[in-house]
Amino acid sequence: MQEPDRWRNMASAPKDGSRILVTVRPVEQGPAEVDVAYWSRPDQFGIEGWRAADSYPGCIIGYAEPELKCWMPLPQANLGKNAAAMPTPWQGDEIEVDGSGI
């Protein structure tokens, strides 16, 4: 993949089950944050959609499409960089895709 350290529009996010980084929109309960998520196909525990990577059967953390701003691939292990550093949530201008929210 080219430019692995750039945030991208959610419309281009892979829906093959691979884990990616996502920016979760800020809400009244807290600021924007970065999480690891994947696209899940329908199963006996719920409908298809974005799920947090630390979900497990019986305790699924799901994200509705409007909750996620953008995505980027997981960074590759690089011993020359600070491996523990997580990218900051994307704070740029909104790109209106399907109309405004409110």
Q: 11-52: per-residue pLDDT in tens?
A: 999 999 999 999 999 988 889 999 999 999 887 766 899 999
Q: Determine the structural domain holding residue 62 and report its residue range.
A: 8-73
Contact between residue 45 and residue 57 where contact means Cβ atoms under 8 Å apart: yes
Q: Report whether pLDDT(3) > 80.
A: no
By DSSP bridging, strand 68-73 and strand 33-40 are unpaired
- Taken as a whole, the chain contains a residue count of 102
Ranked by mean pLDDT, the top range of 30-34, 73-77, 79-83, 96-100 is: 30-34
Look at residue 82 and tell me if it is in a domain: no
The confidence score (pLDDT) of residue 67 equals 94
In a domain, residue 83? The reply is: no
Q: Output phi, psi for 10, to 5 deg.
A: -60, -25
Structure tokens at 92: 């740029």
pTM of the predicted model as reported, rounded to 2 decimal places? 0.69
CA–CA separation, 61 vs 16, rounded Å?
18
For residue 32, being part of any structural domain is answered with yes
Domain tally for the chain?
A: 1
